[in-house]
Amino acid sequence: MSFPLLTATAVLPAVGAIATAAVPAARRSAAKWLALLFSLATLVLAAVVVVRFEPGGARYQLTESHAWISDFGVRYELGVDGIGVALLALTALLIPFVILAGWHDADPLEDVNPNRRWRPTQGFFALILMVEAMVILSFEATDVFLFYILFEAMLIPMYFLIGGFGDRAHAGGDEAAATQRSYAAVKFLLYNLVGGLIMLAAVIGLYVVAGSFSLSEIAEARASGSLSMATSTERWLFLGFFFAFAVKAPLWPLHTWLPNAMGESTAPVAVLITAVVDKVGTFAMLRFCLQLFPEASKWATPVILVLALISIVYGALLAVGQRDMKRLIAYASISHFGFIIMGIFAMTSQGQSGATLYMVNHGISTAALMLVAGFLITRRGSRLIADYGGVQKVAPVLAGTFLVGGLATLSLPGLSPFVSEFLVLVGTFSRYPVVGIIATIGIVLAALYVLVLYQRTMTGPVKAEVKGMPDLKVRELVVVAPLIALLLFLGVYPKPLTEIVNPAVEHTMSDVQQTDPKPEVEAAP
């Protein structure tokens, strides 16, 4: 029996979460180092998964299958394709930086009474590791019911991270901050629970129709013609799955929980939300919606593209008008998720490859920008853009890294998000030219909100409250420097990602029986 590598990659952070939570209250420093150690060990295992994955091999590799709830046909089935491998690697890569960036985020809670039994520092890092375990396993699950369990279970640690360890840079004081954190956490939970309940009905319906929860079995039966669904049945099941994924993604008009959740969270938790957890929604659209319900996916494409366009423009417009730095990044992410979903449902290989690359590159760029913004907010104690000015004169390294993160967010050529956005737009334009043209409005608005944000915070006269601001410390540089290096490397050499992703995209295109449109103008001989 081969070593269960995929299981180990998910179990390791879960074990780390339990071990971190069990560290005695007085030894919070040990808890931090233990959590970091487990996250780095998980990263090593993820690297092994990437190395052992063969892009030209079988669609799902490193597979595992064991009986679980036999009476209901539920199995513990895992497997990764190129898209799953890319997102698994992204998750494992970002968590150590999230932990390092949040090194002191839970410390003030213990200063009141260091002898009390409640251990917020241990709890904070344990919850982060538990989210990592569930997200990784969701990228590996090929049993629909197993995926649903993970899809819902990850809401619990995220609820406590948002509501129990929220941002303390709040203009309204501690009481107002606690109220806003509670509101954001409850809103996050309710939105996603409603989506999950609708998905549960669709999961049950799928089992009634197909007699199995196995993704590979259902897909093979559909491809061979041994399983057929009535048109109306397939569409209703598709809508049940898509609704849940659109809430998680988030897609307009189901997006309103995200600005609250990111605004009231600490910067590392905000990164966890938008760069890691939300990717489960867009990933699931590719893995489940298109593969299980190909005809319904094509039927819904025009409406989904309109919703994606609204997300792109609406998110960017609201980002332009934001006064809160973290909410600005949240609305920018809504716009970016619109690009990702547009690429998925453009039904072209360029669009879907670009969408997958966008998931990875958005994770890296948003992590870089949000974490530097978090360092800035911690120093000044305010999230309001108007409270800053002239930072580049007193903290040039902080300002420089903030600029690179911002330029990546607006997809500057030479940085990795540009490749993703270009592929999404090319893939969309080749099949839906009007949609592609309208989507470019998001690019113009992105340049506006990013450059205005930088101008107002980093340039101009140095404000009195900013004069003594220290520059980035060694720990903070360790967090930011590798992310910026990745943005530069993948911006000029995206081949390592495209080689892994493209074969999986070809399989997805085959599922929906689509081919790329032929050029209208033939090349000269």
Burial class from Cβ neighbours inside 10 Å (0-12, 13-18, 19+) for residue 466 reads: buried
CB-CB contact of 269 with 168 (8 Å) = no
CB-CB contact of 310 with 435 (8 Å) = no
Instruction: Name the β-bridge partners of 61.
Output: 80
- DSSP category for residue 72: G
Distances (CA, A) of 450 to 1, 340, 421, 445, 447: 52, 19, 16, 9, 5
The whole-angstrom distance between residue 442's C-alpha and the CA centroid of its chain comes to 20
Q: What is the model's pLDDT at position 134?
A: 94
Q: What is the model's pLDDT at position 512?
A: 76
Question: How many Cβ atoms from other residues are within 10 Å of residue 519's Cβ?
Answer: 8
Q: What is the model's pLDDT at position 88?
A: 94
For the entire predicted model, the pTM comes to: 0.90
Nearest to 296 by CA among 374, 380, 252, 231: 231
Q: Which string of b and e fits 399-410 if b means at least 16 CB within 10 Å?
A: bbbbbbbbbbbb
List, for the chain, all residue ranges whose pLDDT scores fall below the cut of 50: 109-118, 171
Angle between helix axes 396-409 and 416-431 (nearest 10 degrees) is: 10
- Alpha-carbon distance 148 to 141, whole Å? 9
Q: Which string of b and e fits 361-373 if b means at least 16 CB within 10 Å?
A: bbbbbbbbbbbbb
CB-CB contact of 151 with 280 (8 Å) = yes
- In the numeric block, which tokens belong to residue 523? 């090349």
Q: What is the model's pLDDT at position 480?
A: 93
Going from N- to C-terminal start, the domains of the chain cover 5-511
Q: What is the model's pLDDT at position 109?
A: 46
State yes or no: cis peptide before 470, omega within 30 of 0: no
Instruction: Name the β-bridge partners of 424.
Output: none
Instruction: List the Cα angle 249/252/258 in 5-degree steps.
Output: 55
Summary count for the chain: helices (H), strands (E): 23, 2
- DSSP category for residue 60: S
- DSSP category for residue 518: P
Q: What is the model's pLDDT at position 108?
A: 52
Amino acid in position 339: F
| DSSP H or E run through 281 | helix 279-284
Q: What is the model's pLDDT at position 111?
A: 47
